[in-house]
Chains A and B, each alone.
Chain A
Amino acid sequence: GAVVSQHPSWVICKSGTSVKIECRSLDFQATTMFWYRQFPKQSLMLMATSNEGSKATYEQGVEKDKFLINHASLTLSTLTVTSAHPEDSSFYICSARRGGDEQFFGPGTRLTVL
């Protein structure tokens, strides 16, 4: 149990376009989901905390208008990278909290902006 999926697993887009990444908890309901960004050979950086039915809480330095987060249901959160640029290229990972201490992580989405 406690499986989290992400779609797509990778995406290549042109500069200036928007990209949507989905995060789903497949076998549990997640009131809270998290979006991380991971640069090559670096750790995960928390971007935002997504709560079902309310606005996301963004970490300092993360642009809200750039990284739009929607948590429309207890099993789905989406991250939209708007007007993507090459510097947005990264590995984006979501996680979901079922309750308790653990976060269950998705497999990640590799975004490449040309």
Chain B
Amino acid sequence: AQSVAQPEDQVNVAEGNPLTVKCTYSVSGNPYLFWYVQYPNRGLQFLLKYITGDNLVKGSYGFEAEFNKSQTSFHLKKPSALVSDSALYFCAVRDPYNFNKFYFGSGTKLNVKP
């Protein structure tokens, strides 16, 4: 079975500081990993994905994520947080045997304080 875990319900960071939102995965086969962001009462917006290649993936709005196979992790990072980054972040893995099916983590609420 495929799954992702986001161990933190909430992450608090001061504006200008680096941020990390954690995600670990469990998948049979090659992992196809994604990060999405959700603002209040809005749908999810794609940030970045890892399919293959470089372990460090760069995405939208200055976000990046590091794929670590040995630790089965795909943490989301940003060198300098903005207040406008405050939102709900979801990690997801695509089923390697059914490309239509995504498994989402429980989400992490990021609070960036001025």
Cβ contacts B81-114/A at 8 Å (1 or 0 each): 0000000001000100001111011110000000
- How distant is A20 from chain B, measured CB to nearest CB, in Å? 18
**Complex: how many Å from CA A106 to CA B41?**
11
**Complex: how many Å from CA A6 to CA B9?**
28
Contact (Cβ within 8 A) A44 B100: no
A49 at the interface (CB under 8 A from B): yes
Binds B, one of A61-69, A71-79, A81-89, A97-105: A97-105
Q: Which of A32, A43, A95 contacts B106 (CB 8 A)?
A: A43
Most chain B CB neighbours (cut-off 10 Å) among A4, A42, A44, A105: A44
A19 at the interface (CB under 8 A from B): no
Sample 19 A-B pairs with CB under 8 A, ordered by A number.
A4-B43, A6-B43, A32-B100, A34-B100, A41-B107, A43-B107, A46-B102, A49-B100, A95-B44, A97-B100, A101-B32, A101-B51, A102-B49, A103-B46, A105-B36, A107-B41, A107-B42, A107-B43, A110-B41
A95 / chain B contacts, CB cutoff of 8 Å: 43-44
Residues from 5 to 59 in A contacting B, C-beta threshold 8 Å: 6, 9, 32, 34, 41-44, 46, 49
Chain B residue, CB-CB nearest to A33: B100
- How distant is B75 from chain A, measured CB to nearest CB, in Å? 18
Report B's interface with A, CB cutoff 8 A. 9, 32, 34, 36, 41-46, 49, 51, 90, 94, 99-102, 104-107
Contact (Cβ within 8 A) A106 B106: no
Contact (Cβ within 8 A) A44 B46: no
A103 / chain B contacts, CB cutoff of 8 Å: 46, 102
B9 / chain A contacts, CB cutoff of 8 Å: 41
A91 / chain B contacts, CB cutoff of 8 Å: 41
